Structure 1
Amino acid sequence: MPSAFTANPHFYLLLGALLLAALVARRIPLLRTLVSLAIWLVVGVLLFALVTERERFDPWMARIAAALNIESQQVAGEETRVRMSPDGHFYVSAHLGPAGGGITRRLLVDSGATITALSPPTAAAAGVVVKPAMFPVLIKTANGTIQAQTGDVSQLRFGNVVARDLAVVVSPAFGDIDVIGMNFLSRLKSWRVEGDVLILTPHHPQDAANGA
């Protein structure tokens, strides 16, 4: 997980050039005004990018994103719409565990994952009881084959979508990444991607989840 937002190096070169231009333009009123406007525009773009990037991991930033109406997911009619993240992936802010308990996490939506996968801290906070397996569960990932344990999350909910008693796999090898897989998506009435928006339609739409 990134611990801080990092801008592209070219951004810093542009900002440095604008600051240099501001020093040169101090004696030319019109040029000084244009450079000042350009600097404020660049700062605004950086702040916007900071909020949209960090809101996936930081609840405080998520509240700012919601206040600015740039949060990544919204309920529209019977659908939950999830905007693509700047990194090209779709993330949802979901509540895992029983009502009145559990935890809210950002999860990567991955149609290439067969089953929903949780890190051990997320699974523990969501009240997932890991089941002893007669045979080890082996999962193929981009980093090779890993061994995982299995369990069930009592409820996974976001937007107007809810899945109960959802099977999950748990492994330290997942790091801090939590993933929604096809065993969740297959429970929906439909799901599709239109442009940069993931559209999820449940069979029985629920009231919009608070804070998710």
Structure 2
Amino acid sequence: MDLDALFNAIAGVIAEIPRSGLLLATVAALVAGWVGSIMARRDVPFGLSIRRLSTLALGGILVVLVLQLSRFDPRIELAVPQIGLPEQVVEGGETRIPLAPDGHFWLRAEVNGEPVAFMVDTGATLTAVSAQVADRVDLEPRTGGIPVRLNTANGTISAEITTIDDLRFGNVAARGLDAVIAPNLGETSVIGMNLLSRLQSWRVEDNTLILVPHHPQVPVDW
């Protein structure tokens, strides 16, 4: 790696730090641990205590990080509403989406009661909305959420995790769904695998995408 690439990589990391309380806490804990170690070696009072507290803080940050990453896989997902990680629920009845002339499956959904157009993308890990849509439907970045790097046609971008309290389309309702707020998407939003994988099944037949929630299903309160 040449010096320019190295400096660009370092600048990218530094630019991410202010956007995540979790990263700020990690940096603070590392600095405190370093200071505590120096104090302990010089027999300065409370040096050992500071080092131990920093170790505990880093352990807590690691637990939060694992909890957030676990939500990408419904098989190991853990719901911890106390720290803003509610259970992700997808329920309702079978919904059919016809193939659009552009070769994509588009659906008209409501996010927190506001209309939003989504493209179904089986290659996307997470459901994504643009910054413009997030502002319109009152989605806020999750406090302490980890930044997510997304590969797009325009290059790699940074996105912030949010929670969609209520998303509805056809006969399907999703609650507590993780999503990312991504810049440069315009009015395009994406339904990703974190929603599709919580269905009983999804398939394409005769240019129609068929979404089937798990059964027995909880009645959807429309």
| Shorter-normalised TM range | 0.5 to 0.7
Compared CA separation, residues 134 and 188, structure 1 to 2 (3 A): closer
Alignment of 1:127-142 (within 5 A): 127-133=138-144, 136-142=147-153
Q: CA deviation at 1:173?
A: 1.8
Q: What secondary structure, in the 3-state scheme, does the structure 1 residue paired with 2:184 have?
A: helix
Q: 1:177 aligns with which of 151, 170, 188?
A: 188
Alignment of 1:178-193 (within 5 A): 178-193=189-204
Q: What secondary structure, in the 3-state scheme, does the structure 2 residue paired with 1:124 have?
A: helix
| Matched residue, 1:88 | 103
Q: 1:165 aligns with which of 176, 179, 184?
A: 176
Distance 1:205 1:159 in 2: 16
Compared CA separation, residues 93 and 208, structure 1 to 2 (3 A): farther
Compared CA separation, residues 133 and 141, structure 1 to 2 (3 A): farther
Distance 1:158 1:116 in 2: 14
Distance 1:108 1:122 in 2: 14
| Matched residue, 2:24 | none
Q: CA deviation at 1:171?
A: 1.9
Q: 2:210 aligns with which of 180, 192, 199?
A: 199
Gaps of 5+ in 2: 1-91
Gaps of 5+ in 1: 1-76
| Cα RMSD, aligned residues only | 2.2
Q: CA deviation at 1:116?
A: 0.4
8 Å Cα contact 2:141-2:160 kept in structure 1: yes
Q: CA deviation at 1:124?
A: 2.3
Compared CA separation, residues 111 and 134, structure 1 to 2 (3 A): closer
Which structure's relative contact order is higher, taking Cα pairs within 8 Å and 6+ residues apart?
2
Q: What secondary structure, in the 3-state scheme, does the structure 2 residue paired with 1:176 have?
A: coil
TM-score (norm: length of structure 2): 0.53
2:123 pairs with 1:108: no
Q: CA deviation at 1:86?
A: 0.3
8 Å Cα contact 1:94-1:106 kept in structure 2: yes
TM-score (norm: length of structure 1): 0.56
Q: CA deviation at 1:206?
A: 5.0
Q: CA deviation at 1:131?
A: 2.1
Alignment of 1:1-212 (within 5 A): 78-97=93-112, 102-133=113-144, 136-203=147-214, 204=217, 206=219
Q: What secondary structure, in the 3-state scheme, does the structure 2 residue paired with 1:174 have?
A: coil
8 Å Cα contact 2:173-2:220 kept in structure 1: no
The number of aligned residues is 129
8 Å Cα contact 1:162-1:206 kept in structure 2: no
Q: What secondary structure, in the 3-state scheme, does the structure 1 residue paired with 2:101 have?
A: coil
Q: CA deviation at 1:132?
A: 4.3
- Give structure 1 regions of 4+ aligned residues with deviation exceeding 3 angstroms: 132-136, 205-209
| Matched residue, 1:18 | none
Q: Deviations over 1:7-55 (max 9, x none)?
A: xxxxxxxxxxxxxxxxxxxxxxxxxxxxxxxxxxxxxxxxxxxxxxxxx
